[in-house]
Amino acid sequence: MNFNILTIFPDLFDTLDHGVIGKAKNNGSFSINLHDIRKHAVNKHGQIDGKPYGGGEGMLMMPQPLKKSLEDIPKNKIGKVIYLSPQGKPLNNIKAKELSTEKSITFICGRYEGIDQRFIDKYVDEEISIGDFIISGGELAALCSIDAIVRHIPGVLGNEDSSENDTFSNGLLKGPQYSRPEIFEEMKVPDVLLSGNHEKIKEWKELKSIEATINRRPELLNNVKLTKKQRKLLEDLTSQRIL
């Protein structure tokens, strides 16, 4: 898989050289091609932004440097063009998995108050947001998006089941997890996890997953297709909360 990044801060993407994502990059599971928008500045001062017509706060990235940066990429390597924007549709695990099947993705990393709408209208295929909050620029959003997408590429994670069992993989939050030692500051690992009874352990994990979702993100249950067993667990938990 190939990622093209249009940015004014290419050094920020050194983060992708670390951890499991860095290993996947070194193994050739995906590649990163950085394109510095300032190389196509409109003047010798490196300007790539201008005041918005009609007034308003801040500056906007102009369309010309963005267009020329996009033209630096071979047409058959551009793939889906995504502008990372708070106006975009939310990125979730389902979307990340869908994007992992693309051969190439080009991320446009906006700065300042955003980018000229004419560039969006002509060249952007999709706008994506990583959450209902504002950050300094699209670079951090691109890093989060790439990490979320790359995890779904076959062979990237050491355990092939990891991406399928992560939080949100089935629409639910993950329940609590425990490691060694068995007792930490007088707090003991739940007995069921030490029992060796895999069926009981699986049932406990499902229960705790649903419990965490009810307590922290109950709205997620509106979009989850539960199994018959999970529905029964949900009913039992709900009745206990009412009582």
Question: Which residues have a catalytic role annotated?
Answer: 86, 113, 151, 166
Q: How far apart are CA 169 and CA 236, in angstroms?
A: 23
- State the DSSP code for 1: -
Q: Where are the alpha helices (DSSP H) in 27-105?
A: 63-71, 75-78, 93-99
Under 8 Å between Cβ of 143 and 41: no
Strand partners, 34: 5
Could you give the CA distance from residue 223 to residue 242 in angstroms, rounded to a whole number? 22
Listed in sequence order, the residues at least 6 apart from 160 whose beta carbon sits closer than 8 Å to its beta carbon are: 154
Q: Which residues contact 38 (CB under 8 A, 6 or more apart)?
A: 8, 46, 48, 65
Type of residue found at 1: M
| 95 close to 128: Cβ distance less than 8 angstroms | yes
Q: CB within 8 A of 100, min separation 6: which ones?
A: 1, 149, 150, 151, 152, 153
Distinct helix (H) and strand (E) counts, the chain: 10, 9
